[in-house]
Chain A
Amino acid sequence: MSERRVQRLLDSTPADEQAEARAWEIVRTAYAQREPRRRPRRRLRLVLAFAAVAALAAAAFSPPGRAVVNAVRRSIGIEHAQPALFRLPTGGRVLVAGDGGAWVVAADGSKRRLGDYAQASWSPHGLYVVAASTNELAAVTPAGAVHWTLSRPKIRFPRWGGTRTDTRIAYLTTSRLHVVGGDGAGDAAAAGVAAAPVAPVWQPTSADRHVLAYVTARGRVTVLDSDRGSVRWISPAYTGPRVLAWSPDGKQLALATRTKVVLFDARTGHTTAVRIAGVRALAFAPDGRLALLNDREVVLRSGTRSRTLFVPPGGRLDGLAWSPDGRWLLTELPAADEWVFLQTRGGRRILAVSHIAAQFGAFPTLSGWAK
């Protein structure tokens, strides 16, 4: 067969224009954010940064200045953002919490405020919410009815796990890990050592057992059977632990530190390191794909393959939540006062919603997206 014919055949392979447009958007924003080759001197940079912050702060307190701030937000936000959250791009309910309280957003965009809780998370099947203010832990329904409360000092990171019939809630007080029954009974310190400020996570399970992972103050990941009070394994110490997450089948545990992501085999504790630095949020999709967020981008990892899903036009991203059907990923762009929905299956749409702070009383933290 002639080489020219092979050449003609290969050349006839169509290029996908939509793929080109999507890729150019990501490349363009990455280029706009790259570090310039010549940087101003450190001292000058500090002065400029201070001046910029001062100018923005001054601007924010005057009505004409508010327009300037809004213009800045527009410049770093996503173009064509919806002015309000009219509906979610797919089914389920999004839970958020912050200075404006805890809220549940339904698929049709309607919002219900659960109370003055700065932190919250879903129960394993989305039937309840565990919410916390500084000194109170509460189990509430998504409609806002309070089932029980528990007063403890300086509560952080409440997380609910277990089966449909037998659940546990883990949380941290100042530096101690506690576990309480889903009915609010039997609250007890679950570990003898101090915990790092990282949210504890329950291993997903269909069996009647309650296994929990947390990070000790010395940076060691510990997997604990909370019913027996026995430790399954303890990892070596990691510097700068930030976030833990279980894979949906409970076979893998991911830890993000300042410099890398470590994937643990749930049974043995054996590790695989992923070289991606600065990860501040990670979340497994229902089908096992892992989304990672650092200062620069959102990365989607499937098996050993990673791809950049989104590079914001400016500002820092915060938080990740997968839709229950695994098709959409929600992240936040606080500097632009926006939520960003990223489609990961069946297309590559990016939908942004602005004026988030006004809709929730303050810019909230994403706490989960349940069925």
Chain B
Amino acid sequence: MRPEPRGELDRREHAWVRDAQRGSAPALEQLFRHHWPRAYRAALLVVGDAAAAEDIAQEAFLAAVRALDRFDRRRPFGPWLHRIVVNRAIDWGRARTLRRELGEADAPEPAAPEREPAEYAPRLATALAGLGPEHRAVIVLRYLLEYTPGEIAELLDLPRGTVNSRLRRGLDRLEAVLREEPE
């Protein structure tokens, strides 16, 4: 099946946003169903924790709903949502790193076992785990969400050169870990 032309998708998304602003729940659902899988995957690939990814993607959609009336329909919805998702995922990753520095032994005993970590492509998870959240975010924005380095620089408020170097380092790391896996 041929993918839907970008222009047609943009027109439909524009209509969903407009109708959702006017109070149409079905339009909001279309918008949600269309964007959820990539928003969730992006969060999961940055944080590597399924429960946290669900929270981050959910909170991003809630933020979108709360700001829906103020949203400028002339702008595309996707980048706006992805900026929220990826920045929250980076914040989560940083916070977890800081908490780990305090020592796992200091953490309270959980009342029940946490949910098992997501079993997505274990080698990919391992490869990504070797990168910091900022590097993972750049890889995800480039190769999952298909933004150009210039767009990523704008979304993350980074110099273009930093984006390029993070992409390079990320690819090198993925290559090192995944080299033995057949293409």
Contacts and interface: CB of A to CB of B under 8 A. Distances in A.
Asked whether A and B interact, the reply is: yes
B85 to A, nearest CB: 12
Contacts of A262: none
| B interface residue count range (under 10 / 10 to 19 / 20 to 34 / 35 or more) | 35 or more
Interface stretch (B5-13, B72-80, B107-115, B151-159): B107-115
A86 interface: no
Given A1-B179, A287-B108, A326-B112, A308 B32 contact: no
A285 B121 contact: no
Contact of B62 (A30, A37, A325): A30
Interface string B57-77: 111011001101100000000
Given A1-B171, A11-B144, A307-B59, A31 B40 contact: no
Nearest to A1: B175
B92 interface: yes
Contacts of A6: 139, 143, 171, 174
B121 A13 contact: yes
A24 to B, nearest CB: 6
B90 interface: no
A13 to B, nearest CB: 5
A14 B54 contact: no
Given A15-B37, A28-B28, A305-B92, A22 B54 contact: yes
Given A15-B41, A30-B66, A303-B99, A24 B32 contact: yes
A307 B92 CA distance: 12
A323 to B, nearest CB: 9
A19 B112 contact: no
Q: Which of A22, A28, A325 has its CB near the most chain B CB atoms (within 10 A)?
A: A28
A13 B59 contact: no
A13 B25 contact: no
A308 B109 CA distance: 23
Contacts of B32: 23-24, 27
A337 B131 CA distance: 50
Contacts of B33: 20, 24
Nearest to B109: A287
Interface in A103-131: none
A265 to B, nearest CB: 15
B179 to A, nearest CB: 7
A1 B171 CA distance: 7
Given A16-B54, A19-B50, A346-B115, A1 B95 contact: no
Given A28-B25, A286-B111, A34 B65 contact: yes
B15 interface: no
Contacts of B139: 6, 10
A305 B111 contact: no
Nearest to B123: A9
A26 B36 CA distance: 13
Interface of B: 20-21, 23, 25, 28-29, 32-33, 36-37, 40-41, 44-45, 50, 52-55, 57-59, 61-62, 65-66, 68-69, 92, 95, 99, 108-115, 118, 120-121, 124, 139-140, 143-144, 171, 174-175, 178-179, 183
Given A19-B40, A27-B62, A31-B20, 6 more contacts: A2-B183, A10-B45, A13-B45, A22-B54, A34-B69, A287-B108
20 contacts: A6-B139, A6-B171, A9-B178, A15-B41, A16-B54, A19-B40, A19-B50, A20-B33, A20-B40, A22-B54, A23-B54, A31-B28, A36-B23, A37-B69, A303-B95, A305-B55, A326-B112, A327-B112, A345-B114, A346-B112
